[in-house]
Amino acid sequence: MNQYVISQGHCSSLGATIEKGGVNFAVYCPAAAVIELLLFKDVEDTDPTVIQLSSPIYRSVYYWHVFVKGIGAGQVYAWRVREAVGTYKQSKENVEIGKVLVDPYGKRMLFPKNYKRFQGNDEAENLSCAARSVVVDTTEYDWGIECAPKHDLTKTVIYEMHVKGFTAHESSGVDEDIRGTYRGLIEKIPHLVELGVTAVELLPVYQFDKYDALPGKFNYWGYCPMSFFAVHEAYSSDKSIMGPLDEFRDMVKALHRNGIEVILDVVYNHTSEGDANGPCYSFKGFDKRAYYIMNDRGDYYNYSGCGNTLNANNPVVRKLILDSLIFWHEEMHVDGFRFDLASILARDSNGAPLPNAPALLDIDHNVRLADAKIIAEPWDAGGLYQLGNIAGSKWREWNGQFRDDVRSFMRGDAQSIKKFVLRLIGSPDIYNEREIDPQKSINFITCHDGFTLNDLVSYSYKHNIDNGEHGRDGNDANYSANYGVEGDTDDANLLDLRLRQCKNMIALTVLSMGTPMILMGDEILRTQKGNNNAYCQDNELSWMNWNLDERQEEMLQFTKQMIRRRTIRTRVGSNRRLGNYTMLHGALRNTKIQWHGIKPFQADWSDNSHSVGIMIYWGQYSIYAYIFVNAYWEDLTVELPPLPHNAKRQWSMLVDTASKYPEDVVNIFNMPRHCAGDLLKVKARSLVIMVAPAI
C-alpha cells in the first residue's frame, strides 16, 4: 500500500484539482465526523490507500479538503464517510456510513468489471463493485482555431438526436468499432449539413447508469445522471482515461467547423440514486437533505417521476448546477443547454413553487453563460406547468402547446382553428409581453418523448408492451391518427395521405414564428412501431435505419428543401431580386398579416373550421407570401387573394405538399404562376405556399 504526504489543502474549488506538486481534493459533507479519501492503483483495485480525515485542519465548516503530494492526472479515487457528527441535526440519517462514493464534481467515472448498481453494506463488496472517480486534466486539449458558429435563434434549426442511435445501426455505413459513438457521429456530419440544421440537441451525455431500468431492460435515453461533470463513457470508442473527454471534444470541434452548434439535453431535476429503495453511489452518501427534496420522515419527493427530486434551490446544489454548466460551456465548448423538467428548478426545499426561483435566475443571469443558449422544458412530473412563465428573460421554452394544437388541427379536430393560428404566429397568447421576440418559443411537433412523426400519422394509440410495464407507461394524449389502419399498411392511397401529413407537419414547424426543432429520423420517416416511450429500447426500434425506400427518400428531399427555403434568396417574376426572407418569421411589428378563407378576406373562425389562408407582407423585403392550410378531409377550391396595388403581379407556387417529388417544393425557376382571383384546388390534408414580389 502506497504512503502519501498530505497537507491541509483548501475548498476554494470542489472536486479534484491538479496543482503544483499534487492534487487538491475537496468535498461537501457537513454531517461527517470522519471522512476517508480512497486512492486506488487502478479501477479494479480492492485494497486502496485510505487517507482518513478527522482533524479540524482538514475541515472548513461544511467542506472537507486535503492536498496529496506526488499524484496527478489518472489517479483513481473515491470518498467514504466513516463517522457522523453527533450534534448535526439528523446527521446519521443524512449520510451513508461505509459506502464508496464518487465525487459529485468528478469529471470522469470508471466502472470495475463486476460493477453493481446496488451494493450491500459489506465493505469488501463495496470496494469491489462500486464506481470510482478519476483525476483528469481538462486543459490539455488542442482546440485549434476556435470557430463556434454562434447562430442567432432566428436562423437556428435544431435537430434533436441520440448520439448512439444516430449511427448504431449497421446501415449507417460507419465502421463497426465506432458505431454509436461520438466518433461515429462525426462520420455522419455530412447528413446534418445537407439537411440544413444549424444545431444538434443531444440527448443526455452526462454519465448515466444503463441499469436504471426494469430487470432485463437497459436505459437508452440517459435521463438518469450519475454525474453532472463526467461524459458518458459508453458513447466513446476510446475507453482510456481521457478518451471519452477528448472524443467528445473532437465531435464538438468537428460540428463547429461545419457550422453546427451543440446543445446538450441536461438533467438537473433528479439523479439515478432514486428513492429510499434506490442505490447510493454519491449524493445520498454525502448529504441527502442538501441534495434532495425530502419530508420530515425522510421520504423523497418525486416531482421528477424518477424517484427523487434534486433540491435545486439549496445553495450547494445551485452552485453545483452552475459549476457544471460553466464546465461544459467553457471547457467542453458546448453552445447551449436544454433543461429537462426545468420547472423543478423553481421548487423550494419543501417542493413549493418559488415565484422568482434563484436557481433559474442564476442560470439566466450568469455572466459566464451569457452567450449560451438556454432552453427550458417548462413543466415537471408533479404538475407544475410554467409555459410562458419561466423566471428570467433569456430562457427559451419548449412549446408543448405548439405540438398539441398543431397536431389537433391537422388531425381534423373541431374547435382547434383559433389555437392553431396562434401557434403559427409565435403564441402571443402565451408569450404576451409586447416586445418579446418570437424565438421565445421552440416549436416542435415531435421529440424523443412520444411518437415519431411517421408513427404520429400511423397509430391511434401507443404500443408500449415491449417496455415491460403492461402498457401503463407513455403519454395517452398523443393527438395522433392512423387514418384507417393501425400501423403498417400496403394501401397506396393511405401511404400517400400519411406522407402528405408528415410533409405538412415539417412545413408548419419550419414556417411558424419561433425556432423550429426536428426529431432525429423524422426526415426519413423513422418508426418505433407505435412505441411512444422507447426509453429502454436500445435496439433497432430506436436506432436510425439508413436504408431508405422511395417514400423515405421523398420525405428526406422535402425536409431539406423546406429547411433551405426557411431563409432563401430567390427571384420571382421578371428576374426581380427579392432578397432574404423567412416565411412566417420575424417580429410581428415588422409584419402585416391578413387572414383568408376559401374566399379572400373571409376566414372561417367557427368551431368546425378546418382550413385557413394567411397572407404576409414584409416591407423590408418587398415580398408577399400566401399560405393555405387545408386540414379538411376533402379537397377545397380556393380563390387566390389579390396583391395590393399590384394587379399585374402573379402568385408563384413554391410548395404543394400534395404533389410528388420534385414538384412538392418547386425549383425557383419553374414555379407555376397564378393570378389573383384564380381558383386553386388544394387537396385534402395538404398545404400550399405561394410568393410574389410587392414591387
Q: Does the annotation count 377 as an active-site position?
A: yes
Tell me the CA distances in angstroms from 107 to 137, 228, 310, 331, one per residue in order. 9, 8, 20, 11
Per residue in 170-202, is it b (16+ CB within 10 Å) or e — as a string?
eebebeeebbbbbbbbbbbbebbeebbbbbbbb
Characterize 629-666 residue by residue with b for buried, 16 or more Cβ atoms within 10 angstroms of its Cβ, and e for exposed. Answer: bbbbeeebebbbbbbeeeeebbbbbbbbbbbebeebbb
| 3-class secondary structure, 38 | strand
- Listed residue (41, 15, 183) closest to 107, CA to CA: 15
Catalytic residue selected from 201, 377, 380, 397? 377
H/E run at residue 323: helix 315-326
Cβ-contact 528, 542 below 8 angstroms: yes
Q: How many CB atoms lie within 10 A of CB 117?
A: 17
Cell readout for 386 is: 410554467
Joined grid coordinates for residue 418? 383559433
Q: Which of 83, 335, 340, 656 is catalytic?
A: 340
Q: How far apart are CA 201 and CA 255, in angstroms?
A: 12
Whole-angstrom distance, CA of residue 582 vs CA of residue 623:
10
Nearest to 633 by CA among 411, 419, 485: 411
What is the torsion angle, in degrees rounded to the nearest 10, for the CA atoms of residue 507, residue 510, residue 513 and residue 515?
150
Where is 27: in which H helix or E strand?
strand 22-28
CA pair distance 403, 420, nearest whole angstrom? 10
CA distance readout (Å), 292 to 38, 295, 342, 369: 25, 10, 15, 25
3-state DSSP call for residue 693? strand
**Pairing of the two strands 673-675 and 261-266:** unpaired
Q: Which residues are catalytic?
A: 340, 377
